[in-house]
Structure 1
Amino acid sequence: MKVIICGAGQVGWQIARHLSSENNDVTVVDNNAELVRRATDTLDVQGIAGFASYPDILTRAGARDADMIIAATHSDEVNMVTCQVAHSVFAVPRKIARLRAQSYLDAIYSDLYRRDHMPIDVVISPEREVAAAALQRLSAPSAFDTESFLEGRVQLLGILLEEDCPVLNTPLRQLTDLFSTLTAIVVGVRREGSLFAPEPGDQLFAGDEIYVVTQSADINRTMEVFGKDSKKQERVVIIGGGNVGLAVASRLEKQATRIRAKVIEKNRRCAERAADALERTIVLNGDGMSAELLSEANIDRADAVLAVTDDDKTNMLVAVRAKAAGCPMAICLVNDPTLTPLMGPLDIDAYINPRATTVSSILRHIRHGRVRDIYSIGDAEAEVIEAQVLSTSPISGQAIRDVDFPEGVLVGAVQKGDKIVRPTGGTRIEEGDVIVLFSLAADVPEVERLLQVSIDFF
Structure 2
Amino acid sequence: MKVIICGAGQVGWQIARHLSGEKNDVTVVDMNPELVRRASDTLDVQGISGFASYPDVLERAGARDCDMIIAATHSDEVNMVTCQVAHSIFSIPRKIARIRAQSYTAALYSDLYRREHMPIDVVISPEREVAEAALQRLAAPTTFDTESFLGGRVQLLGISLDEECPVLNTPLRQLTDLFSTLRAIVVGVRREGRLFAPEAGDQLFADDQIYVFAHVEDVNRTLDIFGKSTKKQERIVIIGGGNVGLAVARALEARTERVRAKVIERSRGQAELAADALERTIVLNGDGMSMELLLEANIDRADAVLAVTDDDKTNILVSVRAKQAGCPMAIALVNDPTLVPLMGPLDIDAYINPRATTVSSILRHIRHGRVRAVYSIGDAEAEVIEAQVLSTSPIAGRTIREIEFPEGVLVGALLRGDKVMKPTSTTRVEESDVILLFAMAGDVPEVERLLQVTIDFF
TM category (shorter chain) comes to: over 0.9
The superposition leaves residues 237-274 of structure 1 with CA deviations (integer Å, 9 ceiling, x where unpaired) of 00000000000000000012221100000000000000
CA contact (8 A) 1:236 1:304 kept: yes
- Give the aligned residue type for 1:82: T
CA distance in 2, matches of 1:381, 1:7: 22
Q: Secondary structure at the match of 1:271?
A: helix
- Give the aligned residue type for 1:370: R
CA contact (8 A) 1:370 1:453 kept: no
Shift of 1:143: 0.2
CA distance in 1, matches of 2:117, 2:313: 41
Q: Which residue of 1 aligns with 2:75?
A: 75
Is there any run of 5+ residues in structure 1 with no aligned partner, and where?
none
TM-score of the pair, normalised by structure 2: 1.00
The superposition leaves residues 16-51 of structure 1 with CA deviations (integer Å, 9 ceiling, x where unpaired) of 000000000000000000100000010000000000
1:52-451 matched pairs, under 5 angstroms = 52-451=52-451
Q: Secondary structure at the match of 1:185?
A: strand
Q: Which residue of 1 aligns with 2:12?
A: 12
Q: Secondary structure at the match of 1:247?
A: helix
CA distance in 1, matches of 2:415, 2:152: 12
CA distance in 2, matches of 1:302, 1:189: 31
CA distance in 2, matches of 1:317, 1:431: 51
- Give the aligned residue type for 1:161: L
The superposition leaves residues 359-412 of structure 1 with CA deviations (integer Å, 9 ceiling, x where unpaired) of 000000000120000000000000000000000011100111111000000000
CA contact (8 A) 1:240 1:266 kept: yes
Superposed CA RMSD: 0.5
- Give the aligned residue type for 2:121: D
CA distance in 1, matches of 2:418, 2:134: 28
CA distance in 2, matches of 1:154, 1:252: 22
- Give the aligned residue type for 1:253: E
1:51 has 2:57 as partner: no
TM-score of the pair, normalised by structure 1: 1.00
CA distance in 2, matches of 1:197, 1:140: 23
- Give the aligned residue type for 2:80: M
The superposition leaves residues 257-293 of structure 1 with CA deviations (integer Å, 9 ceiling, x where unpaired) of 2211000000000000000000000000000000000
Shift of 1:457: 2.6
Shift of 1:177: 1.3
CA distance in 2, matches of 1:147, 1:113: 28
User: Which contiguous aligned blocks of 4+ residues in structure 1 show a shift greater than 4 angstroms?
Assistant: none
CA contact (8 A) 1:156 1:214 kept: yes
CA distance in 2, matches of 1:153, 1:259: 23
The superposition leaves residues 168-198 of structure 1 with CA deviations (integer Å, 9 ceiling, x where unpaired) of 0000011111111111100000000000000
Q: Secondary structure at the match of 1:401?
A: coil
The superposition leaves residues 79-127 of structure 1 with CA deviations (integer Å, 9 ceiling, x where unpaired) of 0000000000000000000000000011111000000000000000000
The superposition leaves residues 331-376 of structure 1 with CA deviations (integer Å, 9 ceiling, x where unpaired) of 0000000000000000000000000000000000000120000000
Q: Secondary structure at the match of 1:402?
A: coil
CA distance in 2, matches of 1:28, 1:267: 37
* Number of aligned residues: 458
The superposition leaves residues 281-317 of structure 1 with CA deviations (integer Å, 9 ceiling, x where unpaired) of 0000000000000000000100000000000000000
Q: Which residue of 1 aligns with 2:38?
A: 38
CA distance in 2, matches of 1:161, 1:427: 30
CA contact (8 A) 1:5 1:29 kept: yes
Q: Secondary structure at the match of 1:85?
A: helix
- Give the aligned residue type for 2:237: V
CA distance in 1, matches of 2:48, 2:177: 57
CA contact (8 A) 1:143 1:158 kept: yes
Q: Secondary structure at the match of 1:163?
A: coil
CA distance in 2, matches of 1:310, 1:178: 46
CA contact (8 A) 1:5 1:12 kept: yes
CA distance in 2, matches of 1:93, 1:456: 12
Identity among equivalent positions (%) equals 82
CA contact (8 A) 1:260 1:281 kept: yes
Q: Secondary structure at the match of 1:359?
A: helix
Shift of 1:455: 4.7
